Amino acid sequence: MKRTVKTALTLVPALLLGTTAAFAAGKLDVSQENFHVIDSYSVYGYAFAKVENVGDKPIQVNAGLLEIFDKEGDTITSTDYMSAYAENLQPGDYTYVRLYEDMDINAEDIDDYLLTVTGKSDMSYTDRRFPVEVDYQADVPRSAYSTTDYIYATVTNDTDETVYDMEVVSVLLDDEGNILYLDGETMYNEGILPGSSVTVRTEISSDFKEYYASKGFQPTHADAIAYVSVPNEE
């Protein structure tokens, strides 16, 4: 896909400024972003990004915008719906984000994109993160005639309380850290007892597997973030 100067193809870093200089040090940095066009029953544009808090104050990831352009540089579509991400980042924390849109257009007419992620200084919630072990397994037998790929994220509750509504973001990567697939799972009303572990299995869409094969991408490993958002005491 052609890369043009017009759209820059990098996320605009978000500087979150509060009312005083003390709150100006929360800063988002995008260390990785990828855009994939999946041509299945419809044509979808997927933007994935890894976003890090490189400042020394908490920051909330609160908004995103994906714009997709044709060969003339005109906007085909845009979306501000961002999903599958941890919102509240402490200094040094990172998250992955996903935006996507379906389009009534031929895949070959899509030429470029622009992705913007912003945040704000917000101390209302903290994302409590949990230890997670990740395993990517390819070509797992699904039936006598087919196989599929899975990401297994095994999360451990390392607190002394039962944890409910845990969220898990699972990400498929190649050797260079390119984000090839991203999905999220929320364990609504499922309690994880203290010291217990649970494994979340994410299946890689067959449409993405066909896309990787056509582009020569090679998935090699996975990452995952497990967390719950808890309100801060006033």
Domain identity same for 107 and 149: no
Give the domain CATH number at 176. 2.60.40
Distance CA 209, CA 223 (A): 18
135-166 pLDDT per residue, tens? 999 999 988 889 999 999 999 999 999 999 99
Q: Is residue 5 part of a domain?
A: no
Mean pLDDT of 66-85: 96
Say if residue 180 is in the same domain as residue 205: yes
Phi, psi at 133, each rounded to 5°: -105, 135
- Residue type present at position 50: K
- Summarize the confidence of residues 121-134 as an average pLDDT: 94
Is 8 a member of any domain? no
- What pLDDT, on the 0 to 100 scale, is given for residue 234? 64
Instruction: Provide the pLDDT for residue 122.
Output: 81
46: which strand partners? 36, 100
Tell me, yes or no, whether 189 lies in a domain.
Answer: yes
For residue 10, being part of any structural domain is answered with: no
What confidence category does residue 25 fall into, taking pLDDT thresholds of 50, 70 and 90?
low
**One domain, residues 119 and 134:** no
User: For 177-194, what is each residue's pLDDT tens digit?
Assistant: 999 999 999 998 789 999
Give the residue, 161 or 9, on which the prediction is more confident: 161
pLDDT surpassing 80 at residue 60: yes
Q: Is the pLDDT of residue 15 over 70?
A: no
Number of helical (H) and strand (E) elements in the chain, helices listed first:
1, 16
* Structure-token pair, residue 62: 């609160």
Looking at the fold, whether 74 and 85 belong to one and the same domain comes out as yes
Same domain, 160 and 97: no
Same domain, 156 and 96: no
Number of other residues whose CB lies within 10 A of the CB of residue 17: 12
| Residue 203, pLDDT above cutoff 70 | yes
Mean pLDDT of the chain: 88
- The answer to whether residues 118 and 132 belong to one domain is no
If asked whether residues 192 and 225 sit together in one domain, one would say yes
Q: What are phi and psi of 32, to 5 degrees?
A: -160, 140
Domain containing residue 22? 15-123
Q: What's the domain count of the chain?
A: 2
**Plot region of 142 (φ>0 → left; ψ -120 to 50 → alpha; else → beta):** alpha
Query: In this predicted structure, what is the pLDDT of residue 190?
Result: 85
